[in-house]
Amino acid sequence: PNPAASLSSSFKPRSSSSLKCFVGFRATGSFGSKLVSSSSLSLTNNHLLKGSLVLRCSLADGNGSSVKRTTLHDLYEKEGQSPWYDNLCRPVTDLLPLIASGVRGVTSNPAIFQKAISSSNAYNDQFRELVQSGKDIESAYWELVVKDIQDACKLFEPIYDQTDGGDGYVSVEVSPRLADDTEGTIEAAKYLHKVVDCPNVYIKIPATAPCIPSIKEVISKGISVNVTLIFSLARYEAVIDAYLDGLEASGLSDLSRVTSVASFFVSRVDTLIDKMLEKIGTPEALDLRGKAAVAQAALAYQLYQKKFSGPRWEALVKKG
């Protein structure tokens, strides 16, 4: 197991009519599973309602062979937490044994694809064809990415279908060059949503100040969003408001397929505060090391419960 694996626990309202909305708390720690190597594993908490279908990926792998149960199955079936794999590369079919072992979704980012493309020859043929056809490097890169995302979406589509859109998502992130570009982020999200053309794709948008309006606009277009790089409670609240504003502005009569994930990076804050505590050096300060992430996660969840309740939320719940 990788002791630096990244974990994310997300929470969903316990109501049969609730919109599918999640908050993720990312922290570092060991994870007792052979699935975690140099890549990280995310968990989304998705408590099932009584009578809901539980997909038991442990019964067979992609070839129909029996697969041993793992901790990931227990996390989902007993705790309602959905493990997501934070990595993607070719061949995408390498995900099949992970799915059989309990992984229920995938996230990606530009750094993951940079590593995948630069360290593997699996992309060479398609990349060569794209460049020879006149594609510039960036356009060729996005075609490589889109193919991987589409292929991964197909692999997770059975989970998406069997959970009625509650799980089985694959995330693709807009270009980091757009972190300060509101309109550019909107257009990029719309483009990726269109070209990937899969119901179980999340478009990842960073929670920078210029991208908060982008989140509202993209949600209002009926596009599901994974908001990443959230570090503070204030920014998390701004993300929630953008999500709610987008739902209200959508004009859609059925909001059941417009979902969102908020990825809250508590581990980064914890690491920074630990360094500050070590500089203080008192026994009291040193005793607080490693506790900031838990405290921030608890406060974020309290905010989540507050924002996703009351008249405004209930009005949206009635639409799906």
Count CA atoms closer than 13 A to 174's CA, side-chain side.
31
**CA-based radius of gyration for the chain:** 20
What residues have CB less than 8 Å from 244, skipping those under 6 apart? 307, 312, 313, 316
Alpha-carbon distance values, 238 to 21, 138, 197, 264, 299 (Å): 15, 32, 28, 13, 15
Is 204 in the active site? yes
Alpha-carbon distance values, 73 to 17, 37, 56, 82, 93 (Å): 25, 18, 7, 9, 20
Q: Which two tokens stand for residue 129?
A: 């064809």
Alpha-carbon distance values, 67 to 57, 63, 73, 86, 215 (Å): 8, 10, 11, 22, 40
Q: Of these residues, 12, 204, 216, 307, which one is catalytic?
A: 204
What residues have CB less than 8 Å from 103, skipping those under 6 apart? 35, 41, 57, 72, 83, 84, 85, 95
Q: Among 41, 146, 141, 47, which Cα is nearest to 95's?
A: 41
Which residue, chain included where needed, has tokens 């510039």? 136
- 260 pairs with which residues across the strands? 21, 225
Q: Which two tokens stand for residue 304?
A: 């989540």
According to DSSP, residue 220 is labeled H
Cβ distance 46 to 166 under 8 Å? yes
**Active-site residue numbers?**
204
